[in-house]
Structure 1
Amino acid sequence: MFPVYMVIIIRFIALFTISGVVFLLKHKSNSLVIFYY
C-alpha cells in the first residue's frame, strides 16, 4: 500500500505533466518552452 502523501505527489506530478503538455500544444514557441521549464 502506498502512503497517502505518495499518492498526492504522484497525482500532482501527473497534473503538472498534463498541464505542461497542454501548454506546449497551445503555445508552440521554443522561448516559452524554455521559460516554462
Structure 2
Amino acid sequence: LSVHAKCVIEAKLSQSMILYQLFCGLYILDYFFYEEFMTST
C-alpha cells in the first residue's frame, strides 16, 4: 500500500499497479466472505 500511495502522490499510477491492488483487495474480501469455511476444515 505504501508503494500505491507514493504512485498516487506522484500521479504515476500504472495499469499493473491498479490491477495488483484490485486483485489483492478481492483476495482479502474473498477470505472474509469464506472465513468460516476456511477455519472449520
Which residue matches 2:28?
17
* Bigger RCO (CA 8 Å, 6+ sep): 2
Structure 1: give runs of 5+ residues left out of the alignment: 32-37
| Percent of aligned pairs with the same amino acid | 14
Partners of 2:19 and 2:35 in 1: CA distance? 24
Output the TM-score relative to the length of structure 1: 0.63
* Deviant stretches of 4+, over 6 Å: none
* Larger-gyration structure (1/2): 2
How many aligned positions are there?
29
Alpha-carbon shift at residue 5 of structure 1 (Å): 0.3
